Amino acid sequence: DAGVTQSPTHLIKTRGQQVTLRCSPKSGHDTVSWYQQALGQGPQFIFQYYEEEERQRGNFPDRFSGHQFPNYSSELNVNALLLGDSALYLCASSWGRESGETQYFGPGTRLLVL
């Protein structure tokens, strides 16, 4: 049973560019959440997708957007990249969106913005 997978593993972009990160949830999971983990910090919640809709959003600007597909996989898009967007981006999946459900994390995509 494959766990949560993310692609690519590493990415280098320059300021002003746009980036798309991808996530496939654990088999049987229908909810995907995205987190940003800056160096030396804990993960910060970006947003959560359930039934192909953004259900909850953290304190991130509109430059951060996402999508969930009918097969529950998800994309995170970041426009107009800033140096401060350099971080590890983690995808987590769970069954259902109810609080308390265990979230399973992927290995992350490490984004470096130059």
Query: Which residues contact another protein by CB under 8 A?
Result: 4, 31, 33, 35, 40-45, 48, 55-56, 58, 90, 92, 94, 96-108
Closer to another protein by Cβ: residue 65 or 105: 105
Report the alpha-carbon distance of residue 96 to residue 76 in Å, rounded. Answer: 20
* CA-angle at 21, arms to 42 and 79, nearest 5°: 90
Closer to another protein by Cβ: residue 18 or 41: 41
Q: Which residue type sits at 98?
A: E
Residue 80 CB, shortest distance to another protein, in Å, is 25
3-state secondary structure of 85: helix
Beta-bridged to residue 31, according to DSSP, are 50, 94
Residue 57 CB, shortest distance to another protein, in Å, is 9
Closer to another protein by Cβ: residue 27 or 41: 41
